[in-house]
A and B are shown apart, each in its own frame.
Chain A
């Protein structure tokens, strides 16, 4: 297997009492709650953690993009990636991902990734996402056209990377007379593209297509859903007439390891529960703006939600029981990862080893134990 150390960079000093006076930790959460002195320290700690992951032997370190939220302090993840390039030597650096529909000029994304690819001499892995529903409130971009803009921006970026310029791009949402990238990407024909997703069938079909074969990463889902989506991808690949390679499949999960199951639970609890209940939780109207998914997908999601009943607070135990988070002794965590690997054939594990309010000290211990006691057994 291959291991990615993934970071969201949450704003840990958030006043949770104040947080819950607002409808979400996103978009409408007053930024008076952000203290730049504390925030600057957060950036330094988190970048140190990402850099340390190289020394510990992770294959990849990864950042991602979110806007107007305490959940993640990287509205411009390429800035962090650029800093990481300067402080690391060999590790791959993944940006998982840039939210394509949210920009009005996707060429900027193609340019920035090409720059990072040159700066790192080919250590960049790019990720293409649509951004979560909240971000359509944050940016004003119309969610009804999200899928269209995503496809079109993707086509434009890949063309900009691979087609000799200058050329004209004629789209519905994006039109450019001159597409002519300086610099061109370092990796040929272009940097790898990974697709993190909550598992929509439209995305699976698109990512698995023979002309793309993009690695598909299921994010923040229970073990059954992860297995289901990854196997859907495999099945889709077979329908296209090929067998999905292990490197095309992966999943992301918050993970915490300590000497014993009991100690791991005790140490991970605050981090996990704040991640899901304070940082991530948003009302339906923000998460699922109309048009963000197809009408049929939205109807299915609504039905599923009704069947599950009203959302309550997620406890660590619930999240462990569903396999959304992996928390326990190295042996417990190893076994759980191995089971999922065997059930899906996935090669990539995107491990989130800092989550919610988890402290620097516990994060460091978690990373070290994961690197020493989990990774070597699963390589």
Chain B
């Protein structure tokens, strides 16, 4: 089942958005590579939630307003997004860069949040445990480092993107640099304010993540007051792809319980 593809406009920014499912709204903020394919993971979530997957401003074919300059701006944009959506209680899920944006949003204003799910979020630094350098990795190295099961890497490398897809990947890479180059994938202030996240929070990490090491999960668990940490074995940086069922099951179970 394909989700509906929409053009979603907030103030003067129009973004591409996929949306499907029934139930309470669930907003998914994607990582630096762009929205993942609408596959098993999203289908599972859409069975019970109204899933919204916007393409961040600047990514893919979404508008790229020059005044949107950093992750804090992106978090404020999504506060506008939530306000416009109007729903009183939204489940917020974010992966990697999107997890960072979600956390920045939550420390600012969580009044419209029912819960927070962070999949291998960027945003924190753990001294002594350095993140992988996705900007220096060659494409084949990137594919291999993103997955534990190399079948996924082979599949990624075996496919030549169309010219349009290649353009989108390059655009997204530009945005990744804009938001994550320096300081590399973190905001030194964020850790100081994580105590402000009072909503039920689930932190999910792939045990074998080579980009943002799973050791970071522990710090998130300690700093966010109501956080539960789940480590998925045999899994790299993309649990929603590599362990789609396990990741969806964890999220659905969490939303059924604490967050209802």
Contacts and interface: CB of A to CB of B under 8 A. Distances in A.
Interface string B162-202: 00001100110110111001111000000000000000000
B170 A302 contact: yes
Nearest to B174: A290
A291 B174 contact: yes
Contacts of A145: 178
Contacts, number: 51
Interface in A265-307: 283-286, 289-291, 295, 298-299, 302
A295 B137 contact: no
A300 to B, nearest CB: 11
B137 A298 contact: no
Contact of B181 (A28, A143, A299): A143
B136 interface: yes
A299 B169 CA distance: 11
B135 interface: yes
Nearest to B66: A148
A142 B181 contact: yes
A299 B136 CA distance: 19
Given A285-B136, A285-B138, A289-B135, A140 B174 contact: no
Interface string A136-177: 110011111100000000000000000000000000000000
A283 B138 contact: yes
A290 B138 contact: no
Nearest to A286: B136
Interface residues of B, number: 17
Contact of B135 (A290, A295, A299): A290
Interface residues of A, number: 22
Contacts of A285: 135-138
Contacts of A295: 170-171, 174
B2 to A, nearest CB: 28
Given A290-B173, A298-B170, A142 B178 contact: yes
B207 to A, nearest CB: 27
A291 B177 contact: yes
Given A299-B167, A302-B170, A142 B138 contact: no
Q: Which of A23, A28, A137, A142 has the most chain B CB within a 10 Å cutoff?
A: A142
A290 B136 contact: no
Given A143-B181, A295-B171, 15 more contacts: A136-B181, A140-B184, A142-B181, A142-B182, A144-B178, A145-B178, A284-B138, A285-B136, A286-B136, A290-B174, A290-B177, A295-B174, A298-B174, A302-B166, A302-B170
Interface of A: 23, 27-28, 136-137, 140-145, 283-286, 289-291, 295, 298-299, 302
Question: Closest 9 CB pairs between A and B?
Answer: A290-B177, A142-B181, A144-B178, A290-B173, A290-B174, A144-B177, A142-B182, A291-B177, A140-B182
